[in-house]
Structure 1
Amino acid sequence: MKQLKTLLLAAVLFFGANQVNAQTKIAHVNVEEIMTKMPAVIDAQKQIEKLSQTYEADFTTMRNELQTKLQKYSTEAEQVTDAINKERSKEVEDMERRIQDFGQNAQKELQQKQMDLMKPIQLKIKASIEKVGKAKGFQYVADMASFILVDGTDLTADVKKDLGF
């Protein structure tokens, strides 16, 4: 009788453990791979790069103008009055401040533009991962970058297909 109870308890534990494993289906996806190869991400990166180059060109122009004024003012410093030199010094300080402000604002605008462009793409990828995961019967889909994966189903190709690339 005691052996029967032990055997019954072992069977319940065995089948219960198998039932828990059977219910939890986990897959993984490589979000980084999707992000680096998705056409919308590549287009967004090109837009950011173009805007960055525009800001960089404007910044370079401003710095060159400042350098030109500094050279001119330094060569003329001895031939003009102290009042003019003070005025020129203030003008140079103002230009330096404007250049610094421009650089900071450009950086903020680039970051904002990147967030504005990437957020809808990230939401689209997340929705696709959820859609593919649910369609394949998975309760959890982990990003390969966030977890150490030993084994499991890789849904990266399915998500890429769902996203159209």
Structure 2
Amino acid sequence: MKQLKTLAIAIVLFIGTQVSAQTKVAHIDVQALMTSMPEMKTAQDQMKKIQDTYDKDYKNMVAEYQTKLQKYEQEAPTAGDALNETRSKEMQDMGARIQQFQQTAQKELGQKEMDLIKPIMEKAQAAIKKVAKEKGFNYVLDSTTGSGVLVADGTDLLADVKKSLGF
């Protein structure tokens, strides 16, 4: 019985060794790949332009708000209660519009960034798959810092994928 257990364990270890010997694993820093892609620079420039436009609009809205607020505060003692109440409501509405603009701008920026990065990521993934297939790798791990890969001493495909993409 003991010999049968030993034999079963030996067979399992032998099969496990054969399977793992046939499996080839490589790694690549996907973040480094994407930041080095020319398309990423273009996407970042587009995002910067859009961000600057939103910032300009936001600053103009805030400046208009502050100007009106100062004017209304100076005129408040001489203006009637009805006018002061109307102005107070106008300032609250204006503050709400500014806040809504800021939230909408952040949401739109996030969506635009996703729209710009998605095709770049797809291109990077396609190149990684192509190189992995050419080199005979079964698995490619993302070795970007913080991705969960603790040791990445194996084959690094970054240079090969960059070469495949033409840079």
Interval of TM-score (by shorter of Structure 1 and Structure 2): 0.7 to 0.9
Match of 1:54 in 2: 53
C-alpha distance in 2, partners of 1:35/1:12?
Answer: 44
- The one-letter code sitting in structure 2 at the alignment partner of 1:122 is M
- The one-letter code sitting in structure 2 at the alignment partner of 1:41 is M
Match of 2:21 in 1: 22
Match of 2:67 in 1: 68
- The one-letter code sitting in structure 2 at the alignment partner of 1:125 is A
Closer/same/farther in 2, CA of residues 149 and 68 from structure 1, 3 Å limit: same
- The one-letter code sitting in structure 2 at the alignment partner of 1:140 is Y
Note the residue ranges of structure 1 that are not aligned, 5 or more in a row: 1-8
C-alpha distance in 2, partners of 1:120/1:150?
Answer: 27
**Per-residue CA distance 1:81-111 (angstroms, 9 max, x = gap):** 1111111111101100000000000000000
Q: Pairwise CA RMSD of aligned residues?
A: 2.1
Deviation at 1:17, TM superposition (A): 5.3
- Whether 1:85 aligns to 2:87 is no
Q: Secondary structure of 2:137's partner?
A: coil
C-alpha distance in 2, partners of 1:77/1:83?
Answer: 11
Closer/same/farther in 2, CA of residues 74 and 12 from structure 1, 3 Å limit: closer
The question of whether the paired residues in 1 share the 8 Å contact of 2:39 and 2:120 is answered with yes
- The one-letter code sitting in structure 1 at the alignment partner of 2:41 is I
Match of 2:161 in 1: 159
Match of 2:124 in 1: 125
Deviation at 1:30, TM superposition (A): 1.1
TM-score (norm 2): 0.86
- The one-letter code sitting in structure 2 at the alignment partner of 1:49 is K
Note the residue ranges of structure 2 that are not aligned, 5 or more in a row: 1-7
Q: Secondary structure of 1:133's partner?
A: helix
TM-score (norm 1): 0.87
- Percent identical pairs in the alignment equals 54
C-alpha distance in 1, partners of 2:110/2:12?
Answer: 54
Q: Secondary structure of 1:79's partner?
A: coil
User: Runs of 4+ in structure 1 displaced over 2 angstroms?
Assistant: 11-22
Q: Secondary structure of 2:77's partner?
A: helix
C-alpha distance in 2, partners of 1:24/1:152?
Answer: 13
Closer/same/farther in 2, CA of residues 92 and 150 from structure 1, 3 Å limit: closer
- The one-letter code sitting in structure 1 at the alignment partner of 2:40 is V
